[in-house]
Amino acid sequence: MPEPKSYKWFLDFLTPNEGHMHGVETILYAKQTKYQQMEIMVTRNYGRCLVLDGKMQSSEYDEFIYHEALVHPALLTHPNPKKVFIVGGGEGATLREILRHKSVEHVLMVDIDQEVVESCKKYLPEWHQGSFDDPRTRLEFRDARKYLEETKDVYDVIIIDISEPMEEGPAYLLYTKEFYQIVMDRLSKNGIISLQAGTTSLTSLLCFSAVYQTLKSVFPIVRPYQAIIPCFGLPWGFALASKMVDPQSFSQEEIDKRIADRLKGELQYYNGEIHHGQFLLPKHIRQRAERETRIIEDNHPLFAYD
């Protein structure tokens, strides 16, 4: 086994007992914003990376996997998505993937941390690819939960693209039953939400399982799934929750047809085969999620390291 190089290392703690090391060439930008510690670094294996509060958010070389997995299952399951709401999504890549859908007429992205978004605009242009300037885009810098509580607007799809629920971080109240009820109330008749739900690692299934059970306490249809995001160092979980439409009711051929008919450009990761396969969780993950009793609530939040 070769000796490790002498350049600097970033240790991404996945749990208190496990981490993923990245060789770092340089730090392009670092700042403590009003809400979180932000770093944009260049790593040897994954290129430029966004790190928030010491946690890897996305990398130049594999962000397409995360963002295609987060966005397209929900938008392709919906019969005709026109209005989409993004909770978070600072890099602009979630926005980029949504805007590939020809039916989409309006996207509202609400992120609490303007400094993160502005830094990503400057240092991570491959992520957003000009999506912030698309005429269908509206960008707000405020508390997304408060916005959804106060608006009367409804959306066909709501994508929740936020960091893990860290104690004293900006996201932990966006994982609760009360928040999911707010989201449910802001969806149209065929409305769907999609979110990242934490790792599906064998030893760290609490967050994924609790998010699944919390969603089930609000939505009639909840379908958990996973994808392999190499820069994260562990397999990663997602969930799709719907008012009426089941993403597993479509054939592989139907998903591929919808991709061909409804999207602009070529996808790098997602297709009909992946759509079906990602919902087929291994037995140990499925059993743990189904047995979970924890419901995340405002007065009983869950943190990534609980």
Which positions are annotated as active-site residues?
Answer: 161
Structure tokens at 67: 């963002």
Task: Judge contact between 208 and 224, C-beta under 8 A.
Answer: yes
Euclidean distance between CA atoms 167 and 127, whole angstroms:
28
Euclidean distance between CA atoms 187 and 193, whole angstroms:
8
Cβ neighbour number for residue 193 with a 10 Å cutoff: 26
149, containing H or E segment: helix 144-150
Euclidean distance between CA atoms 38 and 140, whole angstroms:
19
What angle do helix axes 206-216 and 283-291 make, rounded to 10 degrees? Answer: 60
The sheet carrying 55-59 orders its strands as: 8-15, 18-32, 37-43, 47-52, 55-59
Structure tokens at 283: 């037995």
DSSP-assigned letter for residue 237: E
